Amino acid sequence: MPNEKDAIDISRRSFVQRTAMSGVGLLVAGDILKSNLEAETPKSSGSTMIGVPFEARERVRVGIIGVGGRGTNLLEELLGVENVDIKAICDLVPAKVAHAQKLVTDKGQPEAKGFGKDDWDFKNLTQLDLDIVYIATPWNWHVPMAVNAMKNGKHVAVEVPACTTLEECWQLVDTSEATRKHCVILENCCYGENEMMVLGMVRDGVFGEITHGEAAYLHDLRGILTANEWEGLWRRFPHMKLDGNIYPTHGLGPVAHYMDIHRGDRFDYMVSVSSREASLSEYVKVNFPDTDPKRKEKYTCGDINTSIIKTVKGRTIMLQHDVVNPRPYSRLNSIQGTKGMFADYPARVFIDGPKKEDWDSIDAFREKYQHSLWKQSGEMARKMGGHGGMDYIENYRLMDCIKRGLVPDIDVYDAAAWSAPTPLSEMSVKQNGSSQKFPDFTRGKWNVRPDSQGFAL
């Protein structure tokens, strides 16, 4: 087994090699798809996964690949859900596997099988008798791992973003359809207390006809990006290779739900521009000595990327990405309709009326619109604590969908479309903000399921 340093080196080397060499690399996305004016729809080798339920079962057997920061959080949340058995853990760092195995046995479960002797040992995990494989590794590993798990008959829950190129988006869709296995993107923000409540308000017509939304990931990650551990070992590399929105799904997932994307509407095209790069290089200059290798790095990703998505039903979404500026956290998370709007950070509502001048707190709507999942499990979720409780609700709900044989709330088409702004923004930025078509990952089926499907408790 590699020691911790070897494992980190392997992981980093693989990331750089993969990014540099292959068609799935972030760097080459723009080269593969020089012009995306007419997005092509490849032929499917299977029928749609829209509306396909899980096979019901009493207990869910889970394997987890990647137990760094996020994978360990997911494991802890899953260990808080009844009738979930953690059967296998894979990570390149033996100490992380051992720590995860101890969390499992501390909860009274038998020891999970450990994997991670090399980059590809996850292939041995996916051979086991498991119902679903969770993937919480660096981005370049998501698709090879998800595809391998589905081909071995496992459903997949993959961290965000699910994929980083259009080719990878299609690989997930095609594999899910061919294998009849779900590929769920673990977009925890869709399960936030406010997000689920606002979705209910949108569906009840509180804001009237929806025309516009705003979504973002605005999070000062300078310390994390430049650390010599955890995400600092891999997450800075895309900032040296592309210019665009590297992390689109936290803001976009909830707004896509408000707009019934793939449930009556779909993303049509987007335009994107980036500011110049300044903040990450200044941070590195100020905080690291001349001798630190980071001082030689050249960052290509602009500090703030702004995109506008247009949907086929004529709605617009302003989508932003900024992980390098000193500023408070925000995902914007706003939605505008003909009767009013919701905006987050802080959460507030404006409803049209004769004497209307100012915002109301969202609390005024909580009694009527708090989602039943939060009513039922909110206390437990807040106690577990992951991102204010949304992580527990996300995992509780996914396990519940599997146990009860329900259709998942979020499917492979969502995974592909919510991740696609990375390559599309890169191409648009390269072409001075030119319009980029979203592929129709549903192959024409974005309008077939009722609005209410998803969170249909």
Binding site residues, ligand NAD, CB under 6 A: 7, 11, 65-71, 90-93, 96, 116, 119, 122, 136-139, 141, 159-160, 186, 188, 230-231, 233, 387
CB of 70 to ligand NAD, least distance (A): 3
CB of 38 to ligand NAD, least distance (A): 31
Q: Which is nearer to ligand NAD, 177 or 187 (CB)?
A: 187
What is the number of the residue whose Cβ is closest to ligand NAD? Answer: 68
Q: Which is nearer to ligand NAD, 224 or 380 (CB)?
A: 224
Nearest to 155 by CA among 137, 130, 174, 127: 130
Q: Which is nearer to ligand NAD, 76 or 119 (CB)?
A: 119
Q: Which is nearer to ligand NAD, 66 or 337 (CB)?
A: 66
CB of 321 to ligand NAD, least distance (A): 13
Q: Which is nearer to ligand NAD, 237 or 369 (CB)?
A: 237
CB of 65 to ligand NAD, least distance (A): 5
d(CA 26, CA 85): 35
Q: Which is nearer to ligand NAD, 169 or 233 (CB)?
A: 233
In the block, residue with structure tokens 């001082």:
295
Q: Which is nearer to ligand NAD, 50 or 150 (CB)?
A: 150
Contacts of 397 (CB under 8 A, 6+ apart): 191, 373, 409
CB of 229 to ligand NAD, least distance (A): 8
CB of 323 to ligand NAD, least distance (A): 11
CB of 203 to ligand NAD, least distance (A): 24
